[in-house]
Amino acid sequence: MVEAVPTLPRVFLGEALKQLRADAGKSLDECAAVVGKDRARLVKVLDGKSTLSAEELAALLDFLGVKRVQRKEIMTLGLDTRKRATGAPYLDLAPGSWRRIALLEALASEVWSYDKGIFPYLVQAPEYVHALMDISDGIWWDTDETERANKAEFRLERQRAVLEADKPKTVDLFFTDDALLTEVGGPGVMRAQLAHLLRLVDERKNVTVRIVPCAAPDNPAQYGGITVFHFGDLLRPVGFLPVAYGPSAYFDKAHDTERLTRALNKIREIAYSPRQTKKILAARLEELTRGQS
Phi/psi for 60 (5° steps) reads -65, -40
Query: Would 91 be classed as within a structural domain?
Result: no
Compute the Cα dihedral for 201, 109, 121, 128 and give only its sign: negative
Distance (Å, whole) CA 201 – CA 242 = 24
Distances (CA, A) of 239 to 67, 89, 147, 289: 31, 9, 28, 38
Q: Are 41 and 108 part of one and the same domain? A: no
Q: Are 129 and 222 part of one and the same domain? A: yes
Range of the domain at 61: 8-85
The mean per-residue pLDDT over the stretch 122-128 comes to 97
Q: Are 47 and 103 part of one and the same domain? A: no
Distances (CA, A) of 57 to 24, 72, 85, 264: 15, 11, 20, 39
pTM: 0.77
Q: Are 40 and 185 part of one and the same domain? A: no
Interval 65-76: pLDDT, tens: 998 878 887 888
Per the structure, the count of domains in the chain is: 2
Q: Are 142 and 49 part of one and the same domain? A: no
Q: Are 127 and 34 part of one and the same domain? A: no
Q: Among 15-19, 74-78, 96-100, 143-147, which stretch is predicted with the lowest mean pLDDT?
A: 96-100
Query: Would 213 be classed as within a structural domain?
Result: yes
Residue 229: how many other CB atoms lie within 10 Å: 24
Q: Does position 87 have pLDDT exceeding 70, yes or no?
A: no
Query: Would 90 be classed as within a structural domain?
Result: no
- What is the model's pLDDT at position 2? 42
Q: Does position 95 have pLDDT exceeding 60, yes or no?
A: no
Of 62, 85, 108, the domain-final residue: 85
Check: CB of residue 204 under 8 Å from CB of residue 169.
no
Q: Please state at what angle helix 54-64 crosses helix 28-35, rounded to 10 degrees.
A: 140
Query: Would 216 be classed as within a structural domain?
Result: yes
* Closest-CA residue to 139 (of 10, 5, 18, 245): 245
Q: Are 31 and 71 part of one and the same domain? A: yes
Q: Does position 93 have pLDDT exceeding 60, yes or no?
A: no
Of 23, 54, 85, the domain-final residue: 85
Interval 2-58: pLDDT, tens: 444 567 778 878 888 988 898 899 999 999 999 999 999 999 999 888 899 999 999
Q: Are 217 and 278 part of one and the same domain? A: yes
Q: Are 216 and 267 part of one and the same domain? A: yes
Of 85, 105, 120, the domain-final residue: 85
Q: Are 110 and 202 part of one and the same domain? A: yes
Interval 203-256: pLDDT, tens: 999 999 999 999 999 999 998 899 999 987 656 888 999 888 877 788 888 899
Amino acid identity, position 71: R
Check: CB of residue 256 under 8 Å from CB of residue 152.
no
* Closest-CA residue to 89 (of 250, 226, 227): 250
Average pLDDT of the chain to the nearest whole number: 88
Q: What percent of the chain has pLDDT over 90?
A: 57
Check: CB of residue 49 under 8 Å from CB of residue 41.
no
Distance (Å, whole) CA 224 – CA 103 = 22
Q: Are 15 and 78 part of one and the same domain? A: yes
Tell me the DSSP string of 147-179: HHHHHHHHHHHHHHHHHT-SSPPEEEEEEEGGG
Q: Are 70 and 179 part of one and the same domain? A: no
CATH number assigned to the domain comprising residue 116? 3.30.870
Q: How confident is the model at residue 1 (pLDDT cuts 50, 70, 90)?
A: very low
Compute the Cα dihedral for 121, 122, 128, 133 and give only its sign: positive
CATH number assigned to the domain comprising residue 65? 1.10.260.40
